[in-house]
């Protein structure tokens, strides 16, 4: 776990390098297998996908440098509870790198989603666009902008993110679901109405129960229309980092 870090870094100055596999200690690996067997029995469609683990990070000369390994969804599930490091004092968490994308439209609105009531994490809460970074098949550089853009296209069918106007704005550690989260401001070339109309064709459109657009001033405001709605941890952090970026 680490303290929140806010910054304004062009996505071209994010350098992530993937190297090798993250291995769980023997006892935790055994718990991972039994835990995953239970998950599969309850939900046969569950997929143990490969995830990118943030092993370390540093800020250097206006760059964000991330060292990463491969891990898996099942390894994350068995290591994500807050008590894990108390129960396994010599083990490390899987720590997959989560990505929260603040999608800013061409008419200065922010795409806001409402989590499905069936969602595993934060059901019914205000959210943005997000998911976990995925590792490549071979070691080497990973473009985290492309990973965030992939999530955006999958969830709301937007494929026109302007790389030159996109920034990493903060990094924080989720204290409940125990993983690092990178927050990115992603600028679309489309207006909000066009995005809301076209989102129905998205592959993972059912990730959210509602898709909304709010002026950026409403998202940032302390007394705006979103104040009294349940908010996810990542939504609250995204607002905080976005305010600092825009100062």
The three-state secondary structure class of 31 is helix
| Residue partners of 19: CB distance under 8 A and separation at least 6 | 67, 68, 69, 139
Residues of the chain with pLDDT below 70 are 117-122, 223-224
Q: Which residues pair with 133 in a beta bridge?
A: none
Query: Is residue 223 a contact partner of residue 229, using CB atoms and an 8 Å limit?
Result: no
The three-state secondary structure class of 79 is helix
The pLDDT of residue 134 is 97
The pLDDT of residue 120 is 67
Instruction: Please name the CATH architecture into which domain 5-246 falls.
Output: Alpha-Beta Complex (3.90)
3-state secondary structure 146-191: HHHHHHHHHHHCCCCEEEEEEEEEEEEEECCCCEEEEEEEEEECCC
The pLDDT of residue 86 is 93
The pLDDT of residue 21 is 97
Q: Which residues pair with 51 in a beta bridge?
A: 71
The pLDDT of residue 119 is 63
The pLDDT of residue 128 is 95
Residue with tokens 């001033």: 217
Sheet holding 50-60, edge to edge: 50-60, 63-72, 14-21, 140-142
The domain locations on the chain are 5-246
């Amino acid at each position: 776990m680490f303290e929140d870090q806010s910054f304004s870094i062009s996505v071209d100055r994010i350098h992530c390098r993937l190297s090798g596999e993250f291995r769980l200690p023997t006892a935790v690996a055994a718990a991972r297998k039994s835990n995953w067997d239970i998950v599969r029995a309850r939900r046969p469609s569950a997929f143990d996908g490969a995830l990118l683990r943030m092993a370390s990070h540093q800020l250097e000369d206006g760059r964000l440098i991330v060292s990463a390994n491969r891990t898996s969804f099942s390894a994350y599930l068995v290591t994500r509870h807050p008590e894990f490091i108390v129960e396994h004092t010599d083990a490390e968490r899987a720590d997959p790198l989560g990505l929260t994308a603040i999608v800013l439209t061409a008419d200065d609105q922010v795409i806001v989603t409402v989590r499905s009531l069936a969602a595993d994490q934060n059901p019914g809460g205000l959210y943005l666009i997000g998911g976990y970074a995925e590792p490549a098949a071979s070691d080497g550089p990973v473009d985290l902008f492309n990973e965030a853009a992939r999530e955006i296209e999958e969830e709301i069918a937007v494929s026109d993110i302007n790389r030159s106007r996109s920034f990493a704005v903060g990094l924080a550690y989720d204290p409940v679901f125990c993983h690092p989260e990178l927050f990115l401001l992603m600028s679309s070339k489309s207006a909000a109405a066009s995005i809301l109309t076209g989102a129905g064709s998205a592959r993972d459109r059912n990730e959210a129960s509602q898709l909304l657009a709010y002026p950026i001033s409403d998202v940032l405001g302390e007394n705006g229309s979103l104040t009294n709605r349940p908010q996810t941890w990542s939504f609250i952090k995204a607002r905080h980092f976005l305010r600092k970026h825009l100062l």
